[in-house]
Structure 1
Amino acid sequence: MIIKPILYAIILYFCVCFPSRLAAMLTSFIEGLLCCLTSKPANTVVPVDTSEPADGYEFVEVKPGRVLRVRHIIPDRPAVEEPSLGGIVSCKRKITVYRNGQLFIENLGERASAELKTCQNGETEPNSMVEVELTDCRNSSPPQPRKRRRKPKRTVVIDCERRIAACKGTHSDVALFFIHGVGGSLDIWGSQLDFFSRLGYEVIAPDLAGHGASSSPHITAAYTFYALAEDMRLIFKRYAKKRNILIGHSYGVSFCTFLAHEFPDQIHKMVMINGGGPTALEPSLCSIFNLPTCVLHCLSPLLAWSFLKAGFARQGSREKQLLKEYNAFNVSSFVLRAMMSGQYWPEGDEVYHAELTVPVLLVHGMHDKFVPVEEDQRMAEILLMAFLKVLEDGSHMVMLECPEAVNTLLHEFFLWEPVTLPPPKKEPKARPETAKPQTDNTSEPATVRPATARQT
């Protein structure tokens, strides 16, 4: 009991004699040491107090004792417009996975036949899976492609049609869902929520458990991927409309993909912001987040500084103010450790992502040190309908660094619809020679050429 007053006296002394940053680091270290000595959590795991107005904020109890804060804005819309018909996209794919881990994706068009085709130069078309073996070039006859008979481990065939129309804020059947990642909160979407609500869109943005003003249960199982995904599923069922657009950032992209599989008919479009590659989630065994909670609390100033260096293209006073204003990376050490160790999702592999038939916009910050651009490029290759946009001035927190550019990209994507080509016109069949109608000279007089125009 005597240790606490002594430690707090030391903290007060350093706060007076040293700069604020050093005092904050020392305060965090002393609290972590106190946590280790007393075997008590360093952070009080309760919802964060918020000074924001209550307008637009709701607290939803997804499970007994598990309460999430949700920002839900229903703007006053003008006269409702009828949604455009849009275009119909044929989604025909054949996904084959072999035992050696190779993945072959066949995009089948309407004219594609069951047999594999080859080009005139002997190379295979992108839709085919024929493997060509090299032969002696001295032979006069061109090499014939030969199929290797390999038994596939798994084959998935997708054959459906999707009607994709423009989504405007005046459409009452459209809702936008924003899902943040690890260490964030719904506040990081502040610019997007205000922008699209002013355009007439209905927006929904929840706080994940342990983040923002949501409840933070002190149990590790409450922060696994499946527990958080179930929360997002219940939130989606509560606020979903007929046409819904999912916008996810970082870890939140995985929850958007999960919802797109759970509700394929209700998800109209999806946006992935710095979400990474189409790989299954698995926690790293050699990670700093495997350290005890009290040690992580001692290192929290260092972790916050590392997040500022890797999450922003520039590290100035503006970026520090953005972290403070939007409540980013402001979670307890226990929640941070449980979130990183709970990222186990073996189903979310390449095949799982390749099965998506929803149009996807990929937004990537060029200076992102958490997610390389190659991962988003791989995601664009795997998805059926994907558009990759790279912002040169952004990093991992691109929605905070370049809000205007992100809002413009998202709005253009919401209004995008595929062009429906008209059906080809059938050429009239030529009549036989005997069936040609004879010209009537009495109806129209024949044109007589002048004498000077006649050929001799």
Structure 2
Amino acid sequence: MNAMTRTFSASLLALALQAGFAAHAAQPAATAQSAARTATVDGDHVVTADGVRLYYKDWGPKDGPVVTFSHGWPLNSDSWESQMFFLASRGYRVVAHDRRGHGRSSQPWDGNDMDHYADDLAAVIDALDLNDVTVVGFSTGGGEVARYIGRHGTARVKKAVLVAAVPPLMLQTDDNPGGLPIEVFDGLRKASLENRSQLYLDIASGPFFGFNRPGATPNQALVQSFWVQGMQAGHKNTYDSIAAFSATDFREDLKKFDVPTLVVHGSDDQIVPVDTSARAAAALVDGAELIVYPGAPHGLADTHKDRLNQDLLDFLEK
């Protein structure tokens, strides 16, 4: 794969990384909630009703206000460590799990779709008996948060935060003409099968952190961290997730948000463009607050971590 091809493939995958699975027929709410309630805790894992083991971190004082973090593709909960350390040090209880198929969680062959992702978040929240939770989601994790509220409601939710998130819809459809064509995602699947290790390096060293912009100095530590997290995930799971984040329609989910909501995005996000994601999402959530970071890339949780940390704290303390 030559440099031009790698750059093109990286841009394709980078753009499609995050959007959401072609909506499987949603389970009835009662069924979804029942499945979440049957989850159990086994050490540092939550075991779901279908036997998937979800690794989770639970930092900070156990009596502190609760914040959950849902990560992006193909990463894991380690990608939130700056925000988790910052908030836990200030009295918050912060909980983050590795999505099924990612990080230290199980790698099931099936169920790699947004409905299962949302139900897994519900399983963690219910198994740990978390209440008055601020649910935070980055990129694909923002879709997970949106589908969680769409399927499980806000009985346990106090606030919501979408960071560089994929909702409302990434895929181009008749009623979403501004989305990306299916050929983009087909190209991503092809690139993932050919050499996903190279793909992750290309994404991290290019558009994810904005290192492909003129004058930018790539940070190899961030590139390596992205690659390591990506390679910990299952091949089949990350492959399926390309469909999961590219075709899930979150528009109806967003309309069900009835809690204070913060939307944060970078103006130079080359992966999830701000106009078709954050601005559109904020317009669908009644009373949502939108903050756009000038010049920030998709990976702003690292490149702009100090500002994001403070904005999260300010929102939590309102």
TM-score normalised by the shorter chain: which range applies? 0.7 to 0.9
Distance 1:339 1:244, change over 3 A: same
TM (normalized to structure 2)?
A: 0.73
Which residue does the alignment assign to 1:235?
Answer: 124
Q: Kindly state the Cα deviation for residue 244 of structure 1 after the two structures are TM-superposed.
A: 0.6
Max Rg structure: 1
In the alignment, is the contact (CA less than 8 A) between 1:297 and 1:333 conserved in 2?
Answer: no
Bigger proportion of residues as helix = 2
Q: Kindly indicate whether the alpha-carbon contact (under 8 Å) linking 2:61 and 2:92 is maintained by their aligned counterparts in 1.
A: yes
State the AA in 2 paired with 1:75.
P
Deviation at 1:239, TM superposition (A): 2.5
Residues 1:365 and 2:261 aligned together: no
Q: Look up the SS of the partner of 2:206 in the other structure.
A: helix
**Cα deviation per residue 1:368-390 (whole Å; 9 max; x = unaligned)?**
10111212112222210211111
Q: Quote the residue 1:226 is aligned against.
A: 115
1:224/1:344 contact within 8 Å kept: no
TM-score (norm 1): 0.52
- Residues 377 and 292 (structure 1), Cα distance of their counterparts in 2 relative to 1, 3 Å cut: closer
Structure 2 matches for 1:111-122, cutoff 5 A?
Answer: none
Are the counterparts in 1 of residues 162 and 264 from structure 2 also a CA contact under 8 Å? yes
Deviation at 1:307, TM superposition (A): 4.2
Would you say the 8 A contact 1:224–1:338 is kept in 2?
Answer: yes
| Amino acid paired to 1:191 | S
The residue that corresponds to 1:160 in the other structure is none
Aligned to 1:212: 103
Map of 1:185 onto structure 2: 76
The Cα of 1:70 is off from its aligned counterpart by: 0.2
Secondary structure of the residue that 1:72 maps to in structure 2? Answer: strand
Query: Which residue of 284, 288, 297 maps to 2:187?
Result: 288
Instruction: Give 1:285 deviation, angstroms.
Output: 4.0
1:414 counterpart residue number: 316
Matching residue's letter, 1:182? W
1:72 aligns to what?
A: 58
Within the alignment, does 1:323 sit opposite 2:309 as a pair? Answer: no
Unaligned runs of 5+ in 2: 7-42, 173-179
3-state SS, counterpart of residue 78 of structure 2: helix
Q: Report if aligned partners of 2:200, 2:230 keep a CA contact under 8 Å in 1.
A: no
Alignment of 1:47-446 (within 5 A): 58-63=44-49, 65-75=51-61, 172=63, 174-217=65-108, 219=109, 221-261=110-150, 262-279=152-169, 285-286=182-183, 287-291=186-190, 296-298=193-195, 300-314=197-211, 319-325=219-225, 327-330=228-231, 331-343=233-245, 348-349=250-251, 351-375=252-276, 376-416=278-318
Identify the structure with bigger relative contact order (alpha carbons < 8 Å, sequence gap 6+).
2
Contact 1:75 1:198 in 2 (8 A): no
The CA deviation at 1:298 is 2.8
Unpaired runs of at least 5, structure 1 = 1-21, 26-56, 77-171, 417-456
Q: Secondary structure at the match of 2:48?
A: strand
Conserved 8 A contact 2:204-2:222: no
Letter in 1 for 2:86: F
- Cα distance 1:404–1:310, how it changes in 2: closer, same or farther (>3 A)? same
The RMSD of aligned alpha carbons is 2.8
CA distance in 2, matches of 1:242, 1:356: 17
Preserved contact between residue 169 and residue 246 of structure 2 (Cα < 8 Å): no
